[in-house]
Amino acid sequence: MENPYLPIPVRIDKVTIETEDRNLKTFRFVYVNPADENRFQYKAGQFGELSVSGKGEIPIGIASSPTEKGFVMFTVNKVGLVSSALHDMVEGDVMGIRGPLGNWYPWETLEGKNVVIIGGGFAFTTLRSSIVMMLDPANRGKFKDIHVVYGARSPGMLLYRDELAAWEARDDINMHITVDSAKDQPDWKYNVGFVPAVTEAKAPKGDDDTYAIVCGPPVMIKFTQPVLDKLGYKHDHIIMSLENRMKCGIGMCGRCNIGKDFVCKDGPVFTLEQLNKMPKEY
């Protein structure tokens, strides 16, 4: 019987410090047994359990795109026990990953549609996966306009800065990068302001063919939702990804439920229309 708790062994191939406070690092993993890559076939929006041997496991969104082969990548904020132990690890170390877990953004529905990605802070990881996937030459034609509103406290707190700059330069994606304040960086050439305000100014109006994917800290979500309502997005066109405390990631330990649904297995991706019918326990 396959054991869904058994992590796949991986080796840390590359560690990148993402933010100026050094609290966010991106870990690129390669498979110790290259054949294991086939067991980790994922879609943008799914997550994995990162397993630091002897310390524990944490659920982390997959930041690499299914179109990127030979490795898998996660960006981790240093918070507590396991994430701190992970931050202490170095290139060459062996650890485990389990997954892919959970559902994904509804790519089947999004085909042929305009996609508006709205992200804040470090909840940009699965959004990076989504953008890289959509921009892949094999996929770009499947989607209409792509808009990205992404904000962080300051320029130094944005994730994936080199890629953001590269996307800014392209004409097949509309980037709206913003920071709460750029006072330390006089040459900042993008937006200044909170994500909800930038969304209101820059995002396209809602219609049957336009979907928004929203990921970010609770305050950002709270103030972005009325903006999307004002722009005319129907609630089944607003897609969100939740984070509840997790252990098993496979709907068994009973920890992450919201009403009858498990965030780990029935989610983490839900439409706002679904969330409206669920208790506010997230």
Partner 1 sequence: MRLLQLSHSDLTRGVEALRKAFRVEAPLPERDHFVFGPLPAGAALDLSAANTRLSAKSVIYPASEKMLRVSLDPAKEDHHVYREADKDYSPRAVLGIRPCDARAFTLVKPNFDNREYRDPYWVRSYECSTFVGLACKSPCSTCFCTSAGGGPFDTAGLDVLLAESGEGFIAQVLTEKGEALAAAAGWSAAAPEGAEAALSAMKAEADARIVSRIETEKIPGKTILSLFDAPFWDDAAFACINCGACTYLCPTCWCFDIQDEAHENEGVRMRNWDSCMFPLFTLHGSGHNPRPNKTARVRQRFMHKLKYYGDKYGGGIHCTGCGRCVTHCPVNIDIRRIASLMNGYEPDNACAL
Two tokens, residue 175: 């980037």
> Judged by CB under 8 A, does residue 41 bind partner 1?
no
CB-wise, 180 or 243, nearer to partner 1?
A: 243
47 binds, among partner 1, ligand FES, ligand FAD, none (CB under 5 to 8 A by kind): ligand FAD
Count CA within 13 A, CB hemisphere, residue 138. 6
Q: Which of 24, 117, 239, 264 touches ligand FES (CB under 6 A)?
A: 264
Q: Give yes or no for residue 257 binding partner 1 (CB under 8 A).
A: yes
Residue 95 interacts with, from partner 1, ligand FAD, ligand FES, none (CB under 5-8 Å by kind)? partner 1
Would you tell me which residues interact with ligand FAD (CB under 6 A)?
47, 56, 58-61, 75-77, 79-84, 122, 125, 243-247, 268
Specify the stretch interacting with partner 1 by CB under 8 A; choose among 14-22, 55-63, 114-122, 194-202. Answer: 55-63
Residue whose CB is less far from ligand FAD, 62 or 212? 62
In the chain, the N- to C-terminal Cα span, in Å, equals: 34
Q: Does 251 participate in binding ligand FES (rule CB under 6 A)?
A: yes
- In whole angstroms, give the CA distance from residue 190 to residue 158: 12
CA 266/CA 250 separation, integer angstroms: 9
Residue whose pair of structure tokens reads 């029935």 in the numeric block: 266
Q: Is 165 an interacting residue with respect to partner 1 (CB under 8 A)?
A: no
- Counting contacts by CB under 6 A, is residue 248 touching ligand FES? yes
Candidate residues 247, 271, 274, 282; the one interacting with ligand FES per rule CB under 6 A: 247
Among the listed residues 48, 96, 120, 121, the single contact to partner 1 using CB under 8 A: 96
Q: Which residue is nearest to ligand FAD (CB)?
A: 80
As measured in angstroms, the least distance from the Cβ of 170 to ligand FAD is 24
Residues that bind ligand FES (CB under 6 A): 246-249, 251-256, 262, 264
